[in-house]
């Protein structure tokens, strides 16, 4: 607990969030990291749709996907769903 944490008189009741959940980085929970082979990837975006944490984004300007490892929990659903087996889950 750092000095920056607020005291009970400063926070809103009932656990009302005073900052967005995106500021709470949960990526360090994972044991496995997705590693993609760009050569095998067809940009079908199934992994973007299946990721339960929204941790894979489509970047239209780059015509490519991007893993946000700040939120990826390493569940491996992307690797499982990938039709070309372009994603491998590697032990951290």
Partner 1 sequence: MKSVVKQEVLALNGDEAVAYAAKQSDVDVVAAYPITPQTIIVERFSEYVANGEVETQFVCTESEHSALTACLAASVTGARAFTASASAGLALMHEMLFVTSGCRAPVVMAIANRALSAPLNIHGDHSDTMAQRDSGWIQIYVENAQEAYDSVIQAFKIAENPEVLLPAIVGLDGFTLSHTLENVHVLPDDVVRKFIGVRQFITVINHEGKAVPFRLDPENPTTMGPIALPNYYFEFKRQQEEAMRNALKVISQVNDEYAEISGRKYGDGLLEPYHIGDAEIGIVCLGSTAGTVKSVVDELRAKGVKAGLLRMRTFRPFPVKGVVEALENVKAIAVMDRSMSFGGNGGPVFQEVRNALYDSQKRPQIVNYIYGLGGRDTNPTQIHGIFKDLQRIIEKGRVENLVNFVGLRE
Q: Interface with partner 1 by CB under 8 A: which range of 9-17, 33-41, 53-61, 67-75?
A: 9-17
Is residue 3 a contact residue for partner 1 (CB under 8 A)?
no
Cβ distance to partner 1 smaller for residue 42 or 70: 70
Is residue 5 a contact residue for partner 1 (CB under 8 A)?
yes
Handedness of CA 81, 46, 72, 19 (dihedral sign): negative
Cβ distance to partner 1 smaller for residue 26 or 33: 26
CA distance 41 to 65: 10
Is residue 28 a contact residue for partner 1 (CB under 8 A)?
no
Q: Interface with partner 1 by CB under 8 A: which range of 12-20, 37-45, 55-63, 80-88?
A: 12-20
CA distance 86 to 72: 17
Is residue 29 a contact residue for partner 1 (CB under 8 A)?
no
Q: Which helix (H) or strand (E) holds 47?
A: helix 46-50
Instruction: Assign 31 to helix, strand or coil.
Output: coil
């Amino acid at each position: 607990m750092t000095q920056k944490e607020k005291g009970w008189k400063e926070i809103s009741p009932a656990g009302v969030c005073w900052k967005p959940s995106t500021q709470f980085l949960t990526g360090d929970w994972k044991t496995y990291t997705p590693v993609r082979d760009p050569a095998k990837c067809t940009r079908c975006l199934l992994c973007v749709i299946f990721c339960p944490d929204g941790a894979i984004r489509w970047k239209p300007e780059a015509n490519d996907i991007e893993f946000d490892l700040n939120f990826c929990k390493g569940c491996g659903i992307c690797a499982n769903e990938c039709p070309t087996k372009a994603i491998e889950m590697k032990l951290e």
